[in-house]
Amino acid sequence: MESRGISRAVIRRLPRYYRYLGELLENGVERISSSDLSKRMKVTASQIRQDLNNFGGFGQQGYGYNVKYLYTEIGKILGLEENHNFIIIGAGNLGQALANYTSFENRGFILKGIFDVNPRLEGVTIRGVQIRMMDELSSFIRDNDVEIGVLTIPKEKAIEVANLLVDNGVRAIWNFAHTDLNLPDNVIVENVHLSESLMQLSYNISRYKEEHK
């Protein structure tokens, strides 16, 4: 489906639609109106219709949305009908936590390898995936058709490792390092700054306290 010109805000809402529709499917719901969906998601019905109209609409007047069909179509838009091989760089606490997250596979994200520089971790397995040393990285990427690199390493090494990934054909990076990456425009980067998210939460808590004094 055509998606050029669609705002980043709309794209960021699609996974939420997918998650809520999945929960509706699990509960045996066959169809739902934009009004009922809006109550669950805390998004206006108008916003839902506008978002989905970017991709063709999917609804019928007086009927609403077929939950299974909409769930499937949003999955296709998100590229979830295909498998995406990924690797994790950094086998510390965060890297191991991500490696242990089994839901990735349910969405088609297949963990192929974990890499670190600590020789004490070499050969350790997490859910059957072996931790390897960085000198194996280049050949491993080529041999395993790796699309996505996940960075859970100190920021001092993030740029160097990101460039190494790109040089070896990785097309997308999920960046948990506390630094921005300056990479070619054809490389997709999704930054996850956990401390920034906590600071936003802190701001909202402070504002709430001020408003309810």
> Binding site for NAD(+): which residues?
90-95
For the chain, list the strands marked E by DSSP: 31-32, 65-66, 84-89, 109-116, 125-126, 129-133, 148-151, 172-175, 188-191
d(CA 20, CA 177): 29
Report the binding-site residues: 90-95
Contact 187, 173 (CB under 8 A): yes
Contacts 24+ apart (CB under 8 A), 132-139: 134/89, 137/87, 137/89, 137/164, 137/165, 137/168, 138/164, 138/168
